[in-house]
Amino acid sequence: MRCKYLIAVLEPRPEFHDDERLEVVDGHHYWPIGTVEDHPKAYRLVRMGIAEPDDDECRLVAAVSTQDMKAAGKQYEMVSKGIEPDDYQRYLDGEILGYDTAGNDLPGPNWKRKEDEDDEE
Amino acid sequence: MSKIRVKGSVLSMGITTTLVAVAQVIEFGVDGAESETFDSTTIDTSGAGKEYGLTGYSEGGSLTFGCFWDPVLASQQSVTDLVTTPATSSWSLTFADAATTVSTFSGAGVGFGFTGAMNDGLKADVSIKLTGLFAYPT
């Protein structure tokens, strides 16, 4: 069964580094959005919101709505960026984009410091 | 030289042919890696100290991790797939350092268990026996 990637997926294994098929960003290789994969477990990627079904078999086995797939995709985006569960809502609200190397917040477009929010409460 | 935070680290496993992040991980670690030795002490070894030589092989050890367990979460179901259908698995660990260092490794066997307690969430412990070595940055 086939699925098609909705997000770029990191490929850290050097043996798969094919510069013609993969995108290189900041020295890291990614399978680009739109990559089609034919695999018996492709439905798992669909359930995780990483990919969408690319054939009827995958669509039937995955059995998820577009809405659930989008929600799972957002969840996966946060997991893959290492966002702490306590910060999920702040990420979704655009307050943070992630963390810097010291673990401090990387401000998003709607950034608020956690302390500011605590003061408001 | 820096002290790397764990916050922002990502453990990924091969679900299809690509590696995707495992959700709800609480902790992780690698242990048991060692270069293999043999006892090379002989009767005419001088002094009391036993001697060891290198076999030229190294034990990769195991990667263990703990997580909040969600039986219907696709990334975690892929872990139990390795119990029901044994297979070699691909993994990576992305560190939260400035270079976002990624180390890859392959797993042979997998150990899995979960616990439920009244005063805690449903949790699982997973151990992956490495085949070959963890890709330590050099």
Mean pLDDT over A101-114 rounds to 83
Our CA-based measurement puts residue B19 at a distance from the nearest CA of chain A, in whole angstroms, of 7
Does residue B15 form part of some domain? Answer: yes
B88 within domain boundaries: yes
Total-model pTM: 0.84
A34 or A121, which is more confident?
A34
- The minimum CA-CA distance between A63 and chain B, rounded to whole Å, is 13
Domain spans, chain A? 1-80, 83-121
Q: Mean pLDDT for chain A? A: 87
Point out the residue among A12, A42, A103 whose CB comes nearest to the CB of B92: A12
Residue B38 lies in a domain: no
Residue B80: partners with Cβ closer than 8 Å, 6 or more residues away: B112
Phi then psi for B20, rounded to 5 degrees? -130, 150
Q: Would you give the distance in Å from CA A8 to the centre of its chain?
A: 8
How far apart, in whole angstroms, are the C-alpha atoms of residue B99 and residue B97? 5
Whether the Cβ atoms of residue A23 and residue A29 lie closer than 8 Å to each other: yes
Distance CA B57, CA B44 (A): 26
A9 contacts in B (CB within 8 Å)? 18-20
- B-chain CB neighbours of A26 within 8 Å are 100
- d(CA B70, nearest CA chain A) in Å: 13
For B101, the domain range is: 1-29+60-138
Model confidence at B137, in pLDDT bands (50, 70, 90)? confident
What per-residue confidence (pLDDT) applies to B8? 86
pLDDT at B51 over 80: yes
- Predicted confidence at residue A120, as pLDDT, reads 64
B52 lies in some domain: no
Q: What is the tally of structural domains in chain B?
A: 1
Any idea what the CATH number is for the domain that residue B81 is in?
A: 4.10.410.40
Higher per-residue confidence, B137 vs B129: B129
Does residue B40 sit within a domain? no
DSSP string, B37-93: EEE---TT-SSS---EEEEEEEE--EEEEEEE--TT-HHHHHHHHHHHS---EEEEE
- What ipTM describes this predicted complex? 0.75
Would residue B93 count as lying in a domain? yes
pLDDT of A101 > 80? The answer is no
